[in-house]
Structures are given as structure tokens and as C-alpha cells.
Amino acid sequence: MGHEKRSVSIVFRALNEEKWFADALQACRDQDLSGSDIETEIILVDSGSTDGTLEIAERFGCRIVHIKKQDFTFGRSLNWGCEAATGEVLVFISAHCIPAHPRWLVNLTEPLLADKADYTYGKQVGHEVSRFSEKQIFAKYFTEHDKPDQGDFFVNNANSAIRTSVWERYRFCEKATGLEDMVLGKALKADGGRIAYIADAPVVHIHEETLKQTRRRYYREALTLREIMPEVQVTFRDFCRYFTAAVFHDWGEALKERCFASVAGEILLFRFNQFWGTYKGHNEHRTLSRTQKEAYYYPASHKRNEKAHRSLIGEAAETS
């Protein structure tokens, strides 16, 4: 007598993502689900694609949910996708992220199906087309070691999963300009919920943004970050310090990897736009301790950074 199937819904958000979407869907289809009793469905929430995104989705048998551009927010599009889903677990992955492990789906969802966690997120690594500094950011936040029940509310919906019952209780904020994952994560942790990081559930995250788009992304995220961490303030002096420190950190890594000449200028431009967007987004008169700011923005060794980052998010959660 077979085991009862456990249903998992994979939800993508997309707007003109034809370049990498087929690879992402194929990697989902090729997942090794042996011994897991998982059955899957794939849902695409499309916000008006005019390229081949919809044709790719149809070819792979996705259920398609349409959202108008004027109705789109990050949280609302996910909520619509979740409403259309039938799974007991909801998996979120960007359409320009490609699962990089044959057991990605099993590893990401196992803590949820076993009731060991309420919300999980997996590792992200860069692609060969990724900017050098973007890879350094991934290395900072997505380490090699699992965190089965982490103490903070950091989570990232480019590669994550949540129990449907948890999403139904909290839902994603539809007004957030970014970081809707951390908004829900903060509320979940405040109620004693469990967030787990799964290093062995990696995706290749491919950002091919212009520098202007990079600046806008960090600006949008800063607008939300100051709401979920109201003590955050990034001054112009902070901008100068973080930008300078990040550039020298990345230049040092580039020297180690013997690619300094080819990426030195790119590092300078990327980090400027990252921190200028962040500075512009943090435009309220609020204060943040030196330790908290260093944890979130200042490059450091991964071990030291993990400890400082836990302190940063944990302190914010305690004051919520």
C-alpha cells in the first residue's frame, strides 16, 4: 500500500523572463523526488510578458495566473499565485533562478513536510554572467552551513518555501516595495514561528540588471527595510564608509581570484549604485547602532558576518 502523496506547488513570478525560464522549469521537472512522496504543480504569475515567457510556461504545463502591471506588487503577485495553488507547501523561485541540485525541492521542503519549520529558504550562487560583487553578496548571506531554526527573520523568496497554512495566516504584504519575504518572516518569528536555512537546496540566481536597475532595487528594498527595522538610518557618512569598504573587500577577493584587471571597474560601479540606492531609500531621521549597521552593510569574514547579522535581525525583532 503506497504512502499518501504530499502536494507541493511551485510558484514563479515573471515579466519577460524567456531567457532563463525554460532552464528553470526543466530543472524543476528533472528533480529527483524518489522516496519523498512529493507530487508537484507549477504556477506562473505573469504580469504582462510580451516575449516568449507564456509560450514556455504553456509548453511545460504551468497553470498561468495573470496580473496587470498596474495591479502588480511583489506581495500581491505571490498572494495571487498562492490562492491558485493546491499544495500543502508553497515553493517560491524567481524565473531567473535555476535549481542547482537534483534534490533541491526535496531538501527545501522536507523541514516543512516534517513540521520542523514553517518557512525555509535555500542557498543562492551567482552565474558566470553575474557581476563579481553580486557573487560576494550571495556568499555573505547564503553560507555553506544549514540553520535548522535560525534566530532571525532573514529569508529570501528567490528560493524559498512556506507551509500553506502559515501563508494563509500571514499572507504577503501587498504594499511593500520589496522584502515582502522579510515582512512576513518578522511577523512569523514574533509569534514563535520557525525559519530554516537549507544550504543543500541551491539555485543559480542570474541578475542581468543595468546599474540603474541595481540602484532602484536597493532603493526599493531600503524603503521596506526602514519599516520593518525602524531604527535603521544610513547617513551620507555611512554611504561613503560602506561603499569604500565594499570596494576594497571585493578588490581583495578579485586579487585572490586573479581577475582584478577585468572586474575592478565593474566592482566600483556596482557598489556605488548599491549603496547610493540604499542611502537614498533610508531618508528618515532614525538611528541605528554601529553594530547593527556594520552587520547589514559592512563586508566582513563570513563567520563574523553571520554572528553580526544574527545580532542585527534579532535586536530588531525584539524591539518590534
Find out whether 218 and 137 touch, Cβ atoms under 8 Å.
no
Its pTM stands at 0.86
pLDDT digits (tens, 9 = 90+) for 159-205: 999 999 999 999 999 998 889 999 999 999 999 999 999 999 999 99
Which pLDDT score, from 0 to 100, does residue 309 have? Answer: 44
Q: How many residues does the chain have?
A: 320
Exposure of 118 in the CB half-sphere (CA atoms within 13 A): 21
Q: What does the DSSP 8-state code read for residue 144?
A: S
pLDDT digits (tens, 9 = 90+) for 74-130: 999 999 999 999 999 999 999 999 999 999 999 999 999 999 999 999 999 999 999
The region that residue 87 occupies, defined by phi over 0 for left and psi between -120 and 50 for alpha, beta otherwise, is beta
Domains and CATH numbers, the chain: 6-205 (3.90.550.10), 211-318 (no CATH)
3-state DSSP helix/strand/coil % of the chain, to nearest 5: 50, 20, 35
